A and B are shown apart, each in its own frame.
Chain A
Amino acid sequence: MRARVLVRPKAGILDPQGQAVERALPALGFSGVSNVHVGRLIELDVDDPSQLPAMCDRLLSNPLIEDFEIVELAGASSIASSAGSSASGSASVGSELPGSH
C-alpha cells in the first residue's frame, strides 16, 4: 500500500517559512494570498497501514509542534489525522492519484 503523510506546523506556532513565502508571492505580482504554511510530505510503501498512526506519533512527526495527516493513495481516503478537521479535504487528493503504486 502506498501512503502519503502530510506534516504541518501546529496552528498557533509561528511558522517563519510560511511567512517568508507569503511575503515573497506579492513581490512576484501574486496578490490575495494569505495563511501560507509550509510543512513536509512523506510518501512510503507500507505493508500494514494500521501502523501508520504510530509511525507518525513516534518518528514522522513531533506531536508537540506538528499535526499529521495520513492519505492512503491506493484506497483514496484519509485514514487518520491528528488535526481532525482536514480528513475530507485529503480524500480528494487521494482520488486524483488512483494509479499511484
Chain B
Amino acid sequence: LKFGIIRFPGSCDDIDAQLAASRVGEAVLLWHADHDLQRVDAVIVPGGFSYGDYLRAGAIARFAPIMQEVAEFARAGGLVLGICNGFQVLCEAGLLPGALLPNTSLKFIFRQVQLDVADPDTAFTNAAPAGRRLSIPVKHTTGRFYSPDPVDVVLRYAPGHNPNGSQDDIAGVRNEAGNVFGLMPHPEHAVDPLTGSTDGLTIFESMARTSSSLASPAGAGLGGDVDAGVPA
C-alpha cells in the first residue's frame, strides 16, 4: 500500500502523517502545486494551516492544483483520508458533507479525547477493536462539525468528551460511497507509546486492510457502494 501525503504551504502534520502511514505501508509526500498523485493507493490530506487558512480554513487549499487529481481519485473510489485541516479542505471541496465552524469556546484546544467508533465497518475503521474506545488527541480552533443534512458518522466524541460543540458529538464522517473519510482528531499523533497512545494506528491499519481486500479478486472492501459512484 502506497500512501501519498499532500503538502500545502502551511501544512504542519505532513511528516507525522508520513511516519504513521509508513508503519503500515510506503508513504510519499505529494506537492500541492503538482498534478501528479505518483500512482499512490491512498491519499492523506494532513493537518496544519494550508494557505494560512485565509478566508476560511481549507477554503483556498481546495483550489490547489493537486486537488483536481484528488477529486478524480476520490470519484474513482480511491481512499482519501482528511485529518483536521485536511477534513476542512475535503468539506470545502465538497468531497465530504458539512462544514467545520469555530469551536464554541472560541479557543484553541489541545487535549487527548476518547472516541467511540460509530461505524466499525468502514474502510477506515474495520481494524478497530470491537467495543473499545480510541484515545486520540485533538488540536484545533475550527472543529465544530455542522451539517444541515444527515451524514454518515464514523467517529463520535465519547459522552463528555466533545471538545468543540460539534453537532451530535461528531468527530469524523465519511462520504456516501465510503471511500472518503475526514476527522478532527489526529490519529497520526497516536501511533507510538512514547506519546501515550497507539490507538491512531487503527485508522491506517484499516486502510491497509481495505486496500488489500480491494486488490484481491474478491474485491469490495469498502463500507459503501463505490460502484454507485460520484458523491453529490
Contact = CB atoms under 8 A, between A and B. Distances in A.
The answer to whether A and B interact is yes
Given A64-B98, A65-B146, A14 B106 contact: no
A13 B100 CA distance: 12
A13 B166 CA distance: 12
Contact of B104 (A14, A59, A65): A14
A60 B59 CA distance: 9
Interface residues of B, number: 19
Interface in B96-138: 98-99, 101-106
B56 interface: yes
B106 A17 contact: yes
Contacts, number: 32
B59 A59 contact: yes
Interface in A13-27: 13-14, 16-17, 20
B99 A16 contact: no
A13 B63 CA distance: 26
Contacts of A20: 106
B165 interface: yes
A62 B89 CA distance: 12
B228 interface: no
B92 interface: yes
B218 interface: no
A13 B145 CA distance: 11
Contacts of B232: none
A64 B106 contact: no
A16 B105 contact: yes
Given A59-B60, A59-B63, 17 more contacts: A13-B146, A14-B101, A14-B104, A14-B165, A16-B102, A16-B105, A16-B106, A20-B106, A59-B59, A62-B56, A62-B59, A62-B99, A64-B98, A64-B146, A64-B148, A65-B99, A65-B101
Contacts of B92: 62
A60 B98 CA distance: 17
Contacts of B55: 59-60
17 contacts: A14-B101, A16-B102, A16-B103, A16-B104, A16-B105, A17-B102, A17-B106, A60-B55, A62-B56, A62-B59, A62-B92, A62-B99, A64-B98, A64-B99, A64-B148, A65-B99, A65-B101
A38 to B, nearest CB: 10
